[in-house]
A and B are shown apart, each in its own frame.
Chain A
Amino acid sequence: MALNARIIGATALVAAGVLAAGAAGQLPAFGVVDRSQLATPSSAPQSLVCPGPAIAVGADPTNANALTATDTPTRVVGTVGGARTTTVVLGRGEVKGGAAPRAVGAPAASRSGALAAAQLDQVTVGDAAGLIATSCTAPQSDVWFAAGATTTGRTTVLTLANASSVDAQVGVRVWTENGPVDSGSFSQLVVPAKSRKAVSLAGVAPSAGGTVVRVTSTGGRVGVALEQRTVRGLESGGLDMTGPTAAPALQQVVAGVRVLGAAAVAQASRADDYADLQTVVRVLLPGSDAADVSITATPDGGGQAVTLGRRVTGGVVTDFPVTGLADGTYTVRVSAKLPVVVGVRSAVIGDVGGSLTPDATSTGTPVGSGTSSSSAFGTDAGLVGGSGPVNTSTGSASSGSSANANAAASATSTARGIDFAWFAAASPLSATSAVAVVNAPAPVLSIVNPGAARAVRLSGAVSRTVQVPAKGAVAVPVTRGMLVLHGASGLLAAVSYAGSDAVAGYPVTASDQEARAIRIQP
């Protein structure tokens, strides 16, 4: 009896224990409280850095390494709210001549609206001539450029302008078609406060057919621009100064890629040393792993897209030529399985003997008329770095029907008015974004919509409402001045300019520089 009672008791105990422990284990967690705080400090005053004039390396005959500038860029500066802006002249650094870079400022965007600025520099003197239209960018501590080359006749100069009151320690990392460059000497550049420093990439990456540059800064943030000038023999190959492209991401969109005089460019590019006139998409997977990269160039306003895909080795700069594009404004979308950095270059070639004219009569450029059906795909001719087959998605590979006959002739001609531009990948906009449009030929605002169809209202220099189709893009002719995009949240946009002998462009940045709400955990 006692035995039974004990066994019953023990069994009950064990059973109760197992059941209770098992049941307790299935309870939901209790007592959880989110104690994080969302804190929003007041916004700092807005500040943009305009990089200043184009800088030439070795223009001084006595010093091959001297950096010189001659021009004084003009600026378009404004805020959405029309508040007064301030301009601070920064130091020139070791660059001789020319205007100094400027830092433009305005009160916080919450009080005066977003600040936007762009500068225009039409270089006519020196060994290279061309149109430079660059947006003034907010100082940042980590920026990427998918642009530049340092082969013979190509000079690439980084302009680092530090508008803050502390020195900036800047590290520059360069990738080329041969992989990453060990740029030890560029790892600790010091940009003094309120000053500028310009460095030539030839120092670290000589004879690079294509470069991708990452600039990181500690201490003060810097406004960085990358300038490339090209001289083929005695002929100016044009020059361009571009702002940062979007940081590595799986999807990149380069808006407002202008193609003008495509046939002439295609013909000219066949000549020796003229291959880099081709329209190319520069791609870098910053890591060491290879990945498939897919590139699509779509004419704004509709039309047949050009798609090409390829496996890209990690850490190697690869230029994808996209030949056979008709004149027009294109949106280039690049997607990859790994984060990718992207830039697009296009070139124009003017009349023989023609000179750069500020008000080039190119307003008749058909905007949004990308109806050309003759989509064709580049050969490997201008490809740097890559290897392997080119995958084409559509159409015939019947490109380059024009003979090579003209190539030699083209190569010998001088001062034909060649210019090129690097287009940077755009970042999503905030609801109200501003962009400054400079006084350059045929300014076009391209708006890319990654989502559902919607309307964007423009105000400022141009007042109208633009319907942007779903997953599509539109190109809107605009005029000089401040342009405000309302209801643009999540869209991407770029401003591009193109004349017969001038091309330039920059993305619209979302930098309203408002302080974000930060989640602070205990």
Chain B
Amino acid sequence: MPRSVTAILIAADGADFLRDTLDAITMQTRLPDRLVVVQLGNSPVTSTIIDGVEPTVHARVAARAGFGQAVENGFRAAGIDATENDWLWLLASDNAPEPTALERLLYSVEGSPSVAVAGPKQMQWDAPAYIHSFGETMTPWGTAVEMAEPELDQAQYDRHSDVLAVAAGGMLVQAAAWKRLGGFDRALPAIDDALDFCVRARLAGYRVQLEPTARVLSAGTDAPGTRLLGASTSEPRRVRLRREAQLHRRLVYAALPLVPVHWLSILPVALFRAVGQILRKAPGSAPAELLAALVVFGTRFAAVARSRARIARDHQAGWASIAPLRLHWREVRHRRALARDNGKQPNREESLHFFTSGGMATVLTMLAVSVVLFQPLFGAEALSGGQLLPLGSFDSLWRNVGWGVHLLGGGFVGPADPFAAVIAVLGTITFWHPSAAIVGLWILALPIAAAGGWLATARFTRRRPLRIIGGLLWAAAPTLVVALDSGRIGGVLVHLAAPFVLLAAFRVRSSWTASAWLGLLGALIAACAPSLLPLLFIAWVAAVALGLAVRTGERSRILRILPLPIPTAVLFLPLVAEQVAHGRILGVLADPGPVADPSTTANLLGLPPRIATVLQLAAGWPTWAIDAWEGLTAPLGLGSGLSAVFVWALGVPLLLLAVIGLFWPRQGVPIRVGLFGVGGLVFAVLATRLEVVSSGGTPISAWPGAGLSLAWLAVLEAAVCGLDRLAAVGSLPIRASGHTTARARSGGAAIVGFTAVAAMLAAVSPVLVGVILGSAQVRASGSATVPALVAAEGRATPDLGMLTLTAEADGSYRSLLTRGQGRTLESLSTLQTTAGFGESSGLARLAAGLVQPTGDDLAASLDAYRIGYVLLQNGGGAAGTTALADARGALGANPLLSVVSTTSAGTLYRFDDLKTTGPIDLLRGPSNTGSPLGIAVLLAQAIVFALTALLALPTSRLTNRFRPLPSLRAPKADTRSIAPRPQVVVRTPEQAMARELQAVAVSTRQTEEVGSWR
């Protein structure tokens, strides 16, 4: 009985694949009786190619049709009789068959009438010696699994013949069975269509078998496929289609009573899977998981019912009959273990040898130094002084993030500073006593800085002494030392974060983890030093532009750069919106935290202050630490101007080395890092011109140290590069020299480097010893910043107000309302310091009424603001003394107030008749979780940061261990070395192993280069 074979080729637009495939069909040893080509869409090129082979039928379907639908159309167009001797041979445009493929397939179905489906061995198009697919099956839970790994075909899978399913491409199927089963399920348009068909065939009593000697090619993900699933389909879309198909099959295959359970579990499971995708560093696939779940959850009722009805109709054998063909758990585990072992890539990241190359030693040394220098801070309840205030309770930390009421001054509702979020996270580390985290930060700052400096330097040089120099110089940076001395917690955090920014920036194009870290660190830096926001934005735009312009072939990598500002944006957007609405957009750039005292102006040899400031910043010093320096230079008999020059000059060796590193040509010398450094310096200078806050009428400029940290990083790395060149000069072909000379040069470079370190250490040492000598602004303190009496009462009555009036030198008064135990770092807001939020006129009038006799009802005002204490302070100056006397007279004569104490901090007056019950009407407002807007802001921030943090976790290796992804194609290294025809390449496994090892060695060598933006 002659068999009639109708080849149905589904032709998508893919000229090369299609031409080869058509050629291969025409070269079959057993030609199909009829060739039906179903063209997706109507591209003229494709039509011409198809008509070139003169198919029996040339059908056209809509371009959007799926594979199964196209086959169905071809089936109908060809008018095939669905007899037992009619067979369909399904091919996609990339399924070029070997000449004997059809012959072997037909031969395999010859002897067994129950076989309705036969599948060939799919080989990889690029590497035809490698298997692409050879039989499919399911795990007990229904997950589709390829039976064969993408391995070199050594006949290792050939013993499988009875399988659950075969791939669609190259499938030989009995036309009668096809018709009876109704073809592929429309609900599975792209993925698992063949699997589902085969399962249904099995359930209908047919057999499905493989024919290992019949081979067709498959281009895998490069295949033109269909519009639904083709070469242009993105990975997230593939994930979505795969998951949709799996969920659909699960609902179809499950026993009826279990369907609701499965249906209900779709969404929760999808959340877990989305998180898993993020942990797997595939953030784009996380929405795909959710989308797939939503689609199946909400829109598939009819499709599932149809599919279930069809199975019920054709059902002949029970599900038990196919159970043996499923992949058993034991086998699943075994395969995962195999994939794990195969997936272990050689360690592409060159280890920096932190422990063996002096990194740990540097950090431990700095820790010891830090323990000695900050010894007075040990056991401190909190730190205060300078820009530092104690932190409030854990509860208070998290009440002051997001959007809500701020109990500052007259109270206002608005967004919190992004810095409040930083403080909240920091304080949560020691949630039982948040201030302890600040103490810990101060003590650990130097070692952390040394570690960061060491790691960043290790990207630029292999030389151990130079790495140590890098670590030491980063810890001894004037910015860090001054920031520690003056309590600039923002400056400290920026300085500690900067080297890690550099490290993450190196890897951002290739790693989602690095991208997430860069996003988080960028948000940290922006929150700590908002004056750098423009610089960060410029750097991001430049990176994107550069990526677009230079690396046209690697556009997908820009995907990892594009989302970098999202965490920063989500933190800053509420504040920016509020400031824009208030017309004070520059206020966004203000330093968070308490407003600094006016700094003494620089005086350098009579130069104009502005030029002196630039010079001072260029020397790396954010402020004019003249007191500390005089102790250093007084023994040398230098005046204050000369002493500054002397101290600045101690940084000159480093600058010279940086210039060497910048100018001496060498591959990888960081001119872009230098650009960033220049940007840092320029923005440090700009910060000194940015005066958006004021203290008692004196404009206060922003802290320039954050920009200087970036500049210092560039100078440091450039200097290390310079040293590296100096050390390497012996091995350059400048003159013939032996190893001894090279070693001497290397040692010489180290000595030069350590001299620069010693000079810097000498320059910063007077500031560095400030804490232990007690001359630093930062000091150990209690957790209250108000007089002890007020603090004691404030502990019981947290909203008890104290109004501090300071008689300023110009005769005005500075008014500051604090509550409870005094100001805490997290409660402050730049909205107050820059835009006057919370500065009600009522409060000003109350202050004005307190310092002079008045007819106002002060008792009512004091009650309204719940001010129980008034502290009068002296701000100095002649007019200030008069103002102080006026205020003292008025406050003393006020029958409402009684003097409590007079100390150096000022005179404290108590309002005895304060009513302290009930909420303060003036300060009433929704908390950060008390309004829809507040909840929305908190939720948005929480979601973005949770996702970024998940992405930042270094879990890719972990997830690979836990649930490895099977590789889809042959290792790249091998494909090049494979001869085009697998039949003629005969290799023993030993040979193959040797080749592989060789290839791995080559690839390892290629990835050895250190230090580049790529």
Contacts and interface: CB of A to CB of B under 8 A. Distances in A.
Nearest to A247: B882
A293 B403 CA distance: 64
A330 B889 CA distance: 34
A37 B674 CA distance: 46
Interface in B842-901: 844-845, 847-849, 851-856, 885-886, 888-889, 892-895, 899
Given A164-B895, A518-B812, A522-B839, A6 B685 contact: no
A452 interface: no
B637 interface: no
B941 to A, nearest CB: 27
Interface in B470-498: none
B608 to A, nearest CB: 9
Interface string A217-259: 1111100000000000000000000000000000000000000
A165 interface: yes
A423 B103 CA distance: 135
Contacts of B848: 39-41, 515, 517-518, 520
A97 interface: no
Given A7-B663, A518-B847, A221 B699 contact: no
B815 A520 contact: yes
Interface residues of B, number: 69
Given A521-B808, A521-B815, A165 B665 contact: no
B983 to A, nearest CB: 49
Nearest to A163: B893
B698 to A, nearest CB: 9
Nearest to A25: B614
Contact of B812 (A28, A142, A221, A520): A520
Contacts of B953: none
B813 interface: yes
Contacts of A35: 694, 836, 839
A520 B844 contact: yes
B844 A220 contact: no
A364 interface: no
Interface string A161-180: 00011101100000000000
Interface in A421-477: none
A405 interface: no
B689 A29 contact: yes
A253 B692 CA distance: 45
Given A21-B681, A515-B853, A32 B699 contact: yes
Interface residues of A, number: 59
Nearest to A3: B665
B854 A515 contact: yes
Interface stretch (A11-19, A86-94, A268-276): A11-19
B618 interface: yes
B457 interface: no
A221 B854 contact: no
A401 interface: no
Contacts of A10: 662-663, 671, 674
B57 interface: no
A220 B851 contact: no
B675 interface: yes
B855 A42 contact: yes
Contacts of B611: 22, 25
A516 B697 CA distance: 19
A427 to B, nearest CB: 13
A140 B833 CA distance: 36
B682 interface: yes
Nearest to B813: A520
Contacts of A30: 586, 689-691
B613 interface: yes
A41 B845 contact: yes
B682 A521 contact: no
B691 A164 contact: no
A39 B663 contact: no
Given A21-B682, A513-B853, A218 B671 contact: no
A142 B885 CA distance: 8
A44 interface: yes
Contacts of A520: 812-815, 844, 847-848
Contact of B854 (A32, A42, A164, A519): A42
B841 interface: yes
Nearest to B590: A31
Contacts of A371: none
Interface in B106-155: none
Contacts of A16: 678
A20 B683 CA distance: 10
A108 interface: yes
Contacts, number: 191
B584 interface: yes
Given A24-B682, A218-B899, A522 B832 contact: yes
Interface in B27-80: none
Contacts of B810: 519
Given A520-B815, A521-B812, A164 B893 contact: yes
A17 B681 contact: yes
A369 to B, nearest CB: 40
Contact of A142 (B677, B852, B889): B889
B397 interface: no
Nearest to B850: A41
Select the residue from A16, A29, A31, A218 with max chain B CB neighbours within 10 A. Answer: A31
Interface string B669-707: 101001101100110011011111011110101000000
B659 interface: yes
A42 B812 CA distance: 18
A29 B697 CA distance: 15
B230 interface: no
A522 B689 contact: no
Contacts of B663: 6-7, 10-11
A33 B839 CA distance: 14
Given A6-B663, A25-B685, A30-B690, A20 B895 contact: no
Given A39-B844, A218-B899, A522-B836, A516 B852 contact: yes
Contact of B617 (A21, A169, A217): A21
Contact of A521 (B584, B690, B697, B892): B697
B604 to A, nearest CB: 13
Contact of A29 (B701, B816, B888): B701
B840 to A, nearest CB: 9
A521 B855 contact: no
Select the residue from B663, B833, B836 with max chain A CB neighbours within 10 A. Answer: B663
B811 interface: yes
B662 A522 contact: no
Contact of A32 (B659, B685, B692, B844): B692
Given A37-B844, A515-B852, A522-B814, A17 B691 contact: no
Contacts of B814: 520-522
B117 to A, nearest CB: 63
A36 interface: yes
B555 interface: no
B665 A28 contact: no
Interface of A: 2-3, 6-7, 9-11, 13-14, 16-17, 20-22, 24-37, 39-45, 108, 139-142, 164-166, 168-169, 217-221, 513, 515-522
21 contacts: A13-B674, A17-B681, A21-B614, A25-B614, A25-B689, A27-B686, A33-B694, A34-B697, A37-B839, A40-B845, A41-B845, A42-B854, A43-B854, A141-B886, A166-B892, A219-B893, A515-B852, A520-B813, A520-B814, A522-B694, A522-B814
When A and B form their complex, which 6 residue pairs have the shortest distance between CB atoms, in order from nearest? A141-B889, A17-B678, A519-B812, A41-B849, A25-B614, A518-B848
Given A10-B662, A24-B685, A141-B885, 4 more contacts: A10-B674, A24-B686, A168-B893, A519-B810
Interface of B: 584, 586-587, 589, 610-611, 613-614, 617-618, 659, 662-663, 665, 669, 671, 674-675, 677-678, 681-682, 685-686, 688-692, 694-697, 699, 701, 808, 810-816, 832-834, 836, 839, 841, 844-845, 847-849, 851-856, 885-886, 888-889, 892-895, 899
